[in-house]
Amino acid sequence: MVRAGASSGDISGQNEQAEEEEGGIQMSSRIRSHSPAEGASADSSSPGPKKSDMCEGCRSLAGGHPGYVSHDKETSIKYVSHQHPNHPQLFSIVRQACVRSLSCEVCPGREGPIFFGDEQHGFVFSHTFFIKDSLARGFQRWYSIITIMMDRIYLINSWPFLLGKIRGIIDELQGKALKVFEAEQYGCPQRAQRMNTAFTPFLHQRNGNAARSLTSLTNDENLWACLHTSFAWLLKACGSRLTEKLLEGAPTEDTLVQMEKLADLKEESEGWDGSEEEEKPSSQQDVVEGQELSKCSPETSLMPDCNSWNVAHRRLSVFRSLRHMRQVLGASAFRMLAWHVLMGNQVIWKARDSDLVQSAFDVLRTMLPVGCVRIIPYSDQYEEAYRCNFLGLSPHVQIPSHILSSEFAVLVEVRTATRSSLYPTLFDDEQSLNKYEFVVTSGSPVAADRVGPTILNKIEAALTNQNLSVDVVDQCLVCLKEEWMNKVKVLFKFTKVDSRPKEDTQKLLSILGAAEEDNVKLLKFWMTGLSKTYKSHLMSTVRSPTSSESRN
């Protein structure tokens, strides 16, 4: 029997100004090819066969159906679904991909994902699967969902993301088809009927009946509209999850640490996917250095609702910047708080409003390297300092007395203000802060005449300079952190790798301009934020024989 792959749907993303689509998702089915007697025809002026000449199994949309169009206003991209691509060149690419995905390009076992393609016809991610059909030979039909991109590297990097999402769509289709199959078999078992029927050639036995449509196999009249929504969301999400970023020079320590954290999270997620237990006990707090993990409710799906592409509502920060926080808390209270943050002491906020606490941590963490940040945003019990250096607590939580009197912790209590306004309102959205009073206490208050770490004095100088905008202050903060992280690297190599004596270390600190006690404490704390990549590279290169000979 001659078989051909016929496109049952095409979904592609195109810009309003663009004339050619750069990528798309198609769904193709494997059916019996039409003979001239069955009335199939191909018009030379049209990329594909006329819809009026198609059998039910070949058609995704009814004759005369205009198709589906979704318009993304954010990016001015239109996602179009129709029977065949209108562009002749694109039709040729899609048709070849469909045929190959259902004939020669299959994985072992025939059902599963596979990658193929070339630069001329595009690169294809194809996932073949079976759909139950009580009237089909073997009681199943062969379908495939394919993704076509001209960028091979981008498609390969998107493989894990596409595989998980497409597999979810396939599972839903197979589940619907299985229910229909079981209902039909219960009413009229086809296996017994075929065994009791005298042998006749299969083609003659079909008596010319066309293949059943996917909507019939799944008993879902809105199937193609749902697939349009799912495929359009998949194209948008796949296009926005990976971005190119130009990096000039060596990556910063913050960049290296963030890359390591993302790699760790990816390994953990892969481990969770492969295990039967997908949820952790709710009593266990998830904390990651440099970022916090928020638990999702069981009802939360990995794929966003197809009816909406809007990103989850982003909370409006109460504290917008360090300058804003300094203006709210006051100069002396902010200096005490910033000193404890830079020294690595535990910073505790007690408030009823968790969003207020989160915004405070988002602002304060900008003073530290990413690797030095460990946050528990909001908890109903006190957590030890080794677990987090930023801790948010509800007002009723009791803090141990030794913590309250410790010089290695600072407490910020957010109380209801006794007056309508505690400070002049400079911005419209500061009205929400007028109802709060902020009390900053510590077992070791910072004296006003204390010099403090050098970086703190420079930060305060930038914050008080009204000629500098908030964006300029942010860039200044990045430069200051990188400057002091370079000093941390020198100190780490000098003390941990080369094991130099204490006298030489003191000379080095003087050269670095960090001989004061507060500067030394800061360098030691920031040393914990060095990336594993840098540490392992330094250990492997410095302890090699060639480096030892050059040092001697």
Of 3-17, 60-74, 263-277, the poorest mean pLDDT is in 3-17
pLDDT at 341 over 60: yes
Where does 344-465 have alpha helices with state H?
354-364, 401-404, 454-464
CA distances from 497 to 72, 494, 538, 548 (A): 54, 6, 8, 11
Residue type, 163: L
Lookup: tokens for 195: 């065994």
| 383 vs 258 pLDDT, higher one | 383
Mean pLDDT value across residues 219-239: 87
- d(CA 16, CA 19) in angstroms, rounded, equals 8
Instruction: Name the pairing type of β-strands 77-82 and 23-32.
Output: unpaired
How large is the average pLDDT for residues 209-213?
68
**pLDDT reported for residue 452:** 82
Residue 419: band (very low, low, confident or very high) from pLDDT cuts 50, 70, 90: low
The DSSP code for 37 is G
Using a 10 angstrom Cβ sphere, with 0-12 exposed, 13-18 middle and 19 or more buried, the burial of residue 491 is: buried
DSSP assignment letter at 380: S
Q: What is the pLDDT of residues 354-371, one digit of tens each?
A: 889 999 999 999 999 999
What is the per-residue pLDDT for 15? 36
- For range 150-163, the mean pLDDT: 88
CB 149 within 8 A of CB 123: yes
Q: Say what the pLDDT of residue 14 is.
A: 39
> What is the Rg, in whole angstroms, of the alpha carbon atoms belonging to the chain?
32
Q: What's the CA gap between 145 and 252, in Å, rounded? A: 41
Task: Say whether pLDDT at 305 is over 50.
Answer: no
Structure tokens at 347: 């910073």
Q: Are 236 and 72 in contact (CB under 8 A)?
A: yes
CB 261 within 8 A of CB 200: no
| Mean pLDDT for all residues in the chain | 75
Q: Which of 73-77, 189-193, 265-269 has the highest mean pLDDT?
A: 73-77
CA-to-CA distance for 226 and 230, rounded, in angstroms?
A: 6
Helix (DSSP H) and strand (DSSP E) numbers for the chain:
18, 14
Question: Is the backbone of residue 360 left (phi > 0), alpha (psi -120 to 50) or beta?
Answer: alpha
Q: Please state which of the ranges 217-221, 450-454, 535-539 shows the lowest mean pLDDT.
A: 535-539
Structure tokens at 62: 């009814």
- pLDDT: is 163 or 430 the higher one? 163
Going by C-alpha positions, the residue among 330, 408, 326, 407 that lies closest to residue 360 is: 326
| Interhelix angle 470-492/322-329, nearest 10 degrees | 100
Least confident of 38-52, 324-338, 430-444: 38-52
